[in-house]
Structure 1
Amino acid sequence: MAEELLIAQSSKEEKYRVLLPQVKALCTGEPNLVANLANTASALKMTFDFFWIGFYLVENDELVLGPFQGPIACTRIAFGKGVCGSAWKQNETLVVPDVDAFPGHIACSSDSKSEIVVPIRKNGQIVAILDVDSAALNDFDQVDAIHLNELCEWLGTHCF
């Protein structure tokens, strides 16, 4: 079956409003986690054309690379290290306007300039991280945080 994504050609807010129900519909009924995360990363990439979009899955005391869209990425990130490990440790979404100014930033690519990292929880425990990077400084804001948190809450409840 062919899948199709309707992409809004308007504001960031409207793009999220159109995208999120489509991602939910795409994943609903599909039991495979990798398939759902891969399609979610692709849908975000197609809609916003961010530099890098992907998931890191919690395995013991590390985040391990999962499905993503973009250049080759860091494979493992320790708890509390870099933006992803810090979001995991702090149990909160982190919006970083300039990754070079973030203490301990792990530069998987020097082309990444700003980042948003959103924890995914199942039963209150972080099971994964959504990591989105941009090649532009200060590319993420409260609109991204609100809608990506909504997406990650849904993923944690319905896909993990």
Structure 2
Amino acid sequence: MQDYLLLELSIKSIANSDDRFISKLSNLSAVIYQYMDRLNWAGFYILDETWNNLYLGPFQGKIACSNIKISEGVCGKAVRDNAVQRVADVHSFDGHIACDSDSESEIVLPLKKDGKIWGVLDIDSPEKNRFSQEDEEFLTRMAQIIGENVFEEKNFYEGLFTNQWL
């Protein structure tokens, strides 16, 4: 059983900091990767609704897919269904995108602000059945905190895919 107290305090502190969103996402991916056990990847994909793609954001782990169509993969399904996707065995998930062949299970959580999805938190493990119902409930609460607090900047969406957002 995972002890989530320190992780929760760290996530809340980072998400509510005065840092720019790219710094927040970088530190959030690092703290999740550091404090959750048995992971091989933790990071973010940012949604571009114009092109129906998720673009790679800050992460920890091996090199990742740079963009994912929302019609594909576990991340895309999380966006399409507007729901958490907890996959016990990624090899049995129809349409799974294998960015890292070591991944065996995955959980993807939509990140929303004011009801609008702006991205996903994607976490992979080299173990099948790594993510429990308890993990899902905890991460869902954390995704809500991240979603509501990371993108406070007024013109975030207008500057997202230009150099203005760095």
TM normalised by structure 2 equals: 0.86
Counterpart position of 2:114: 123
User: What code does the residue aligned with 1:148 have?
Assistant: L
Q: 2:125 aligns with which of 121, 125, 134?
A: 134
Q: 2:99 aligns with which of 92, 108, 113?
A: 108
The alignment covers a number of residue pairs equal to 148
C-alpha distance in structure 1 between counterparts of 2:123 and 2:17, whole Å = 26
* Contact 2:78 2:110 survives alignment (8 Å): yes
**Structure 1 unaligned regions, length at least 5:** 1-10
C-alpha distance in structure 1 between counterparts of 2:73 and 2:15, whole Å = 29
Counterpart position of 1:67: 58
The answer as to 2:15 corresponding to 1:27 is: yes
* Contact 2:15 2:145 survives alignment (8 Å): no
1:31 offset after TM fit, Å? 3.6
Deviations 1:57-110 (A, max 9, x none): 001210000000000000000112100001110100010000000000001011
* Contact 1:88 1:119 survives alignment (8 Å): yes
SS for the counterpart of 1:87 is helix
The answer as to 2:20 corresponding to 1:43 is: no
User: What code does the residue aligned with 1:74 have?
Assistant: C
TM normalised by structure 1 equals: 0.89
Counterpart position of 1:4: none
C-alpha distance in structure 1 between counterparts of 2:76 and 2:98, whole Å = 13
Identity %: 39
**Structure 2 unaligned regions, length at least 5:** 152-166
The answer as to 2:71 corresponding to 1:83 is: no
The answer as to 2:4 corresponding to 1:16 is: yes
C-alpha distance in structure 2 between counterparts of 1:51 and 1:151, whole Å = 19
SS for the counterpart of 1:108 is coil
